[in-house]
Structure 1
């Protein structure tokens, strides 16, 4: 096993919400449970979750995103100058649609006293007491950029999406520094935007239905992310998860990584969590663009969308295929995504969820002895 993250057996971050969390959050929304009581339930359930991650053999632990309803909107809504608003449409998944929410920029984008810093402060001592490294996930700035529709850009100083880039970059640099100053050494920027660039259908939809200029998006995103990361501390590991959509076990985007690989792997991330649990992801050939050295590709070969365990030999064979295009020492294994990117969760049981995690740990221990 590797000593530093990303680990040979790693995870994306979110876990199925236990009934206690669901009940407490519903009671809080209804006004029957105050914030302190909700926090107490969350603290208890997260402590239990961290112990389960350690017991499953992981070298890291997350808070399962138990304090969030969404993997991205909760963070965006806590930024200065950004609101999450009701809209007339959700995100169109295959056979499902999310709640009708959207990002609105109505002031100068910035990062100040963000509530998720408190989420991190609560996770850190619990994880360290369990003997594992705390990991915290945030949505990437490129997601906010891709999600801002022209009609929702209402801040007076931003006439176009290009106008807010400097402030967006600085907000994320400030966020990374704030988490680092609080002791974070393993962060992950979750990113659906790159996955849309793999799909011509999704690019056409963004251009014609939402008014997004799609030409040159790969260069735009590589530039934004490189600027965000260019001065990060040497002892801080920042990875990214490229997500193709994960809502109630459904998905959005299809297409291999070839259209984005050269730009994506030029971004100075330490790790790239790539979904490879279905034929929709294409082959491993794009891994040839991985920079030699310390960067790691974490292969999402174990699906979080269904409970059945993949055959061990099949996973090992796919790792061997990937190793034809990137050195085995630069590869690792994880589920393809989290188990609950939104509070609704994927369609599998908690028992199946933990079987998946142990599956990843056992296979990685055998492949990277």
Structure 2
């Protein structure tokens, strides 16, 4: 698979469900695991079976890009920081979190007293894989020619840093500044990426809602009130991701997924991409941008005028936050609006050229946390089938 994104590249965690977004048996076992009433091995047996179903469901819907539904994770960012030497898991008082961060503001409002996080108290080293074993398991569930279509998702290296700022993220006797901290994180990420590649992975997605947070007026004003240079911090976070993607093979497709929060069907921030579009689309070293575009909180498509000719925008037009189903006609109309926006860019593009820079997807995961969103298995399947039907109408069967 080349770096060119397929016309259906879902950033979703598609999950097999009954009355829950996850299988009822797995949901109930996860409850036991979270309360320390069963072992990881007990949980893994049910995860293995559920992932088999997830793969079959995606294939039946016509989705080529296969994920494991993140069924082994409690939350989307699990698997990275908890597997790094030098990172210590702990609970911290809510006052140690930056209140201007949109999801943290929600915790403050809800009266949360403390929350789990990580602190870097030693040199960061990747001494064990993040998701290599998960990838190997998926390889056994697809035909050899489809291994290249398996996608692995992982959280952004800046996820912990934004919540705390430099002083509360790492020990200053270990790292003197952000550059040193993110340099070592970049080394760790590249080691994971290289091992995944060696095992046949050709498609990686970084989940980074932080970039959309920079579109939020409340966060920008909160940073300014604390004297924080948000433009410089955005530059730092772009560089932190570029350290992860640098030197990757030409046949490894790399994307970034950005949303405004997705916790049990709720979002945390709003704001157009216009504030960050020029810098992000041009400076971030990725091949595809998965963009939340399921309702008005994301703004219009005008920022797509800044999309470079060599990159792809994946329009997250189908919501995962509620069961209401969009129509092919509605999605096709919105795709045409996005084409119009790209055609107005510099350099100008023909409609055909603009269309070939676009893909479609759900706007986010069906379950960024293990409890899931308020949709059913049937809702989920219909939304995936809708995406495939729309892609076939717009781009033709050969491009789905």
TM-score (norm 1): 0.91
Q: Give 1:299's match in structure 2, choosing from 302, 307, 315.
A: 315
Query: Which ranges of structure 1 fall in alignment gaps of 5 or more residues?
Result: none
Looking at structure 2, the residues matched to 66 and 249 of structure 1 have their Cα atoms a distance apart, in angstroms, of 17
1:107 is paired with a residue of what secondary structure?
strand
Superposition RMSD on alpha carbons, in Å? 2.5
Looking at structure 2, the residues matched to 189 and 300 of structure 1 have their Cα atoms a distance apart, in angstroms, of 15
Which position in structure 2 is the counterpart of 1:367?
394
Looking at structure 2, the residues matched to 225 and 219 of structure 1 have their Cα atoms a distance apart, in angstroms, of 10
Looking at structure 2, the residues matched to 147 and 212 of structure 1 have their Cα atoms a distance apart, in angstroms, of 13
Residue 207 of structure 1 and its aligned partner are, at CA, apart by: 6.1
Asked if the contact 1:91/1:97 (under 8 Å) is kept, the reply is no
Asked if the contact 1:13/1:137 (under 8 Å) is kept, the reply is no
1:77 aligns with 2:82: yes
After superposition, residues 1-369 of structure 1 pair within 5 angstroms as 6-15=5-14, 16-89=21-94, 91-93=104-106, 100-128=115-143, 131=146, 133-149=149-165, 150-154=167-171, 156-205=173-222, 213-266=229-282, 267-293=284-310, 295-326=311-342, 327-369=354-396
Q: 1:259 to 1:106 in 2, by over 3 A?
A: same
1:91 is paired with a residue of what secondary structure?
helix
CA displacement, residues 200-240 of structure 1 (integer Å, 9 cap, x when unaligned): 2123335657x865241232222222232220011111111
Residue 93 of structure 1 and its aligned partner are, at CA, apart by: 4.2
CA displacement, residues 314-345 of structure 1 (integer Å, 9 cap, x when unaligned): 21111001001330000010000011001111
Looking at structure 2, the residues matched to 218 and 33 of structure 1 have their Cα atoms a distance apart, in angstroms, of 42
Asked if the contact 1:117/1:179 (under 8 Å) is kept, the reply is yes
Looking at structure 2, the residues matched to 130 and 44 of structure 1 have their Cα atoms a distance apart, in angstroms, of 22
TM-score (norm 2): 0.84
1:54 is paired with a residue of what secondary structure?
helix
Looking at structure 2, the residues matched to 167 and 227 of structure 1 have their Cα atoms a distance apart, in angstroms, of 9
Looking at structure 2, the residues matched to 208 and 73 of structure 1 have their Cα atoms a distance apart, in angstroms, of 32
Residue 67 of structure 1 and its aligned partner are, at CA, apart by: 0.4
Bigger drift between 218-227 and 85-94 goes to 85-94
Q: Count how many residue pairs are aligned between Structure 1 and Structure 2.
A: 366
1:241 is paired with a residue of what secondary structure?
strand
Q: 1:47 to 1:212 in 2, by over 3 A?
A: farther
